[in-house]
Amino acid sequence: MFRKKIFIIFIIIIFINSMNLSIIYADDAEDSEIIDWSDELIETAKTSDEPKINSRAAVIYDRKSGKVIWGKSENERRPMASTTKIMTAIVVLENVGLEDIVTVSKKAAGTGGSRLGLKVNDKITVNNLLYGLLLVSGNDAAVALAEYVGGSVEGFAEKMNEKAKDMGLENTHFITPHGLDMDNHYTTAFELAKMADYALNIDKFASIVNTKNIGISINGRSKNLTNTNELLGNLYGVNGVKTGFTNGANRCLVTSVNRDGMNIITVVLGADTKKDRSNDSIKLIEYAYTNYEIYDMKEIIHEKYEEWKRINENRIVVVRGKRENLTTCIEELENYYIPVKKIDKEKINVKIFNISELNAPVHKGDYVGKLCVYIDDEKIVELTISANISIGKLEFIDYLKSYIINNINNMQMGL
């Protein structure tokens, strides 16, 4: 009977391992899957057709303009697994020094899933922990950093949520620093792209996620790390960012690419397999670079505005104003760069609409008109044209002065 029980337990253990039911693991055994980096796969992805992907949510985000080039359920809240660690790194980098020494707690050392391999009372620099966090997706590194920066995992999560709020991420919420499946831990593909964009502006973060292999030291022990990002070093222009996997989130991948001055971020969430997330990411990347380029709108906007100004500005009448005409100014864009389909460049046109008269008093900044940029009939930019000066309203005394001056002039002319 005893042997029978042992046999049954043994079978159950084998079954659990074979079914990969370790639901708390992130970035686990998926990395043993071999990806076929054939030129045919990449060439096939270079198409003008809309991408057809396996992932549940995805986005192509242009970093220069902050615009979405393409999306699929990009605003849907979803678990994001270890791509969470992008925000973990942001909070760490903005709050502590790289050479600070962290002593690893029992809780950090005992954290499951993908691991850096920390032991209780290990001493390790924040710098080395960040490499362990972002290259091998160490959940133990995430907890060690969280406890050091936030005092506890819960305290650190508060800092993560405060940062998300500061960044305007309204559909993002954190419970943990590592991304293991938890209720109320979520983001969207779009907001994850914005998170990555912010992080990549931090030089140290950009350097770490662009590292394929590195040696670090843990409590005097050397350890070699290899980046889990399967696109890094295999696809032209890829320079980061982060992988993710849990049973709840499925396969996730955030990728940064810079080719010929066009810098994009792609995000795929909820892919069924590692191969799917890789193929989906390649499809999005090649679709973007095959079909889009970044167009600088500044020249055409200011050229058309100055042309309108020469012809039309003096035609705008100020009724009962101390001046009959006004001068104008146009709203400035923070960023004039817009991703435009290459085939649509010749379809860009500018239209300006303005009112013909204003009643005094006119204040500086009052609305005069608007300049709109279209591609065919789709409006892609709208800028306000405003009064550049204030013009007071004529009062009784002004009319009286005008009357007296006119009479004096008439009398002088009569003489």
pLDDT higher than threshold 70 for residue 70: yes
DSSP string, 86-103: HHHHHHHHTTS-TT-EEE
Angle at 97 (CA atoms; ends 91, 102), nearest 5 degrees: 90
Note whether residue 25 is domain-resident: no
More confident residue, 49 or 104: 104
* Alpha-carbon gap, residue 127 to 212, rounded angstroms: 16
Alpha carbon distances (Å) from 359 to 283, 324, 401: 56, 10, 21
What mean pLDDT comes out for the span 287-302?
A: 95
Q: How many other C-beta atoms are found inside a 10 Å radius of the C-beta of residue 274?
A: 20
pLDDT higher than threshold 80 for residue 18: no
pLDDT of residue 44: 81
pLDDT of residue 324: 76
Q: How many other C-beta atoms are found inside a 10 Å radius of the C-beta of residue 385?
A: 24
pLDDT of residue 257: 98
pLDDT of residue 322: 83
Note whether residue 402 is domain-resident: no
Note whether residue 3 is domain-resident: no
If pLDDT is split at 50, 70 and 90, which confidence band does 13 have?
A: very low
Pick the last residue of a domain from 263, 291, 319. 291
3-state helix, strand, coil in the chain (%, to 5): 40, 25, 35
* CATH, residue 194: 3.40.710.10
If pLDDT is split at 50, 70 and 90, which confidence band does 404 have?
A: low
Residues designated as active site: 82, 85, 137
If pLDDT is split at 50, 70 and 90, which confidence band does 40 have?
A: confident
Q: Is there a contact between 152 and 158 (Cβ–Cβ < 8 Å)? A: no
Q: Is there a contact between 80 and 176 (Cβ–Cβ < 8 Å)? A: no
* Alpha-carbon gap, residue 227 to 42, rounded angstroms: 21
What residue type is assigned to position 190 of the chain? F
* Alpha-carbon gap, residue 110 to 143, rounded angstroms: 10
Q: Is residue 240 helix, strand or coil?
A: strand
Per-residue pLDDT tens over the stretch 187-216: 999 999 999 999 999 999 999 999 999 999
Per-residue pLDDT tens over the stretch 265-288: 999 999 999 999 999 999 999 999
Q: How many other C-beta atoms are found inside a 10 Å radius of the C-beta of residue 108?
A: 27
Q: Mean of the per-residue pLDDT values for the chain?
A: 89
DSSP string, 19-47: HT--TT--S-GGGGSPP---HHHHHHH--
Where is 340: in which H helix or E strand? strand 337-341
**Do 315 and 218 share a domain, yes or no?**
no
Calculate what percentage of the chain has a pLDDT beyond 90.
78
What mean pLDDT comes out for the span 10-14?
A: 47
If pLDDT is split at 50, 70 and 90, which confidence band does 17 have?
A: very low
If pLDDT is split at 50, 70 and 90, which confidence band does 72 have?
A: very high
DSSP string, 173-229: B-S-SS--S-TT-BB-HHHHHHHHHHHHTSHHHHHHHT-SEEEEEETTEEEEEE---
pLDDT higher than threshold 90 for residue 186: yes
Alpha carbon distances (Å) from 145 to 93, 254, 406: 10, 22, 82
Note whether residue 410 is domain-resident: no
What mean pLDDT comes out for the span 97-114?
A: 97
pLDDT of residue 240: 96
Domain region containing 157: 45-291
Rounded to the nearest angstrom, the gap between the alpha carbon of residue 114 and the centroid of all alpha carbons in its chain is 26
* Alpha-carbon gap, residue 131 to 116, rounded angstroms: 9
If pLDDT is split at 50, 70 and 90, which confidence band does 27 have?
A: low
**Do 278 and 318 share a domain, yes or no?**
no
pLDDT higher than threshold 50 for residue 235: yes
pLDDT of residue 393: 86
Pick the last residue of a domain from 268, 291, 314. 291
Domains held by the chain: number:
2
What mean pLDDT comes out for the span 48-61?
A: 94
Note whether residue 95 is domain-resident: yes
Which among 201, 100, 184, 174 has a CA at the least distance from the CA of 144? 100
**Do 173 and 255 share a domain, yes or no?**
yes
What mean pLDDT comes out for the span 16-37?
A: 46
**Do 313 and 169 share a domain, yes or no?**
no
Structure-block tokens of residue 59: 């986005």
If pLDDT is split at 50, 70 and 90, which confidence band does 8 have?
A: low
* Structure-token match 């609409």, residue found: 353
**Do 111 and 228 share a domain, yes or no?**
yes
CA dihedral of 236, 240, 241, 243, whole degrees rounded to 10: 60
Pick the last residue of a domain from 231, 262, 291. 291
pLDDT of residue 261: 87
Per-residue pLDDT tens over the stretch 331-383: 999 889 999 999 999 999 999 999 999 999 999 999 999 999 999 999 999 99
If pLDDT is split at 50, 70 and 90, which confidence band does 409 have?
A: low
Which among 162, 192, 165, 185 has a CA at the least distance from the CA of 75? 192
pLDDT higher than threshold 60 for residue 29: no
Burial of 74 (0-12, 13-18, 19+ CB in 10 A): buried
* Structure-token match 């992130």, residue found: 26
If pLDDT is split at 50, 70 and 90, which confidence band does 4 have?
A: low
* Structure-token match 């035609």, residue found: 315
Q: Is there a contact between 265 and 193 (Cβ–Cβ < 8 Å)? A: yes
Note whether residue 409 is domain-resident: no
**Do 286 and 302 share a domain, yes or no?**
no
**Do 336 and 231 share a domain, yes or no?**
no
**Do 100 and 229 share a domain, yes or no?**
yes
Structure-block tokens of residue 334: 């923070």
pLDDT of residue 30: 46
Note whether residue 37 is domain-resident: no
Q: Is there a contact between 154 and 147 (Cβ–Cβ < 8 Å)? A: no
What mean pLDDT comes out for the span 68-82?
A: 98
Note whether residue 155 is domain-resident: yes
* Alpha-carbon gap, residue 345 to 241, rounded angstroms: 31
**Do 304 and 287 share a domain, yes or no?**
no
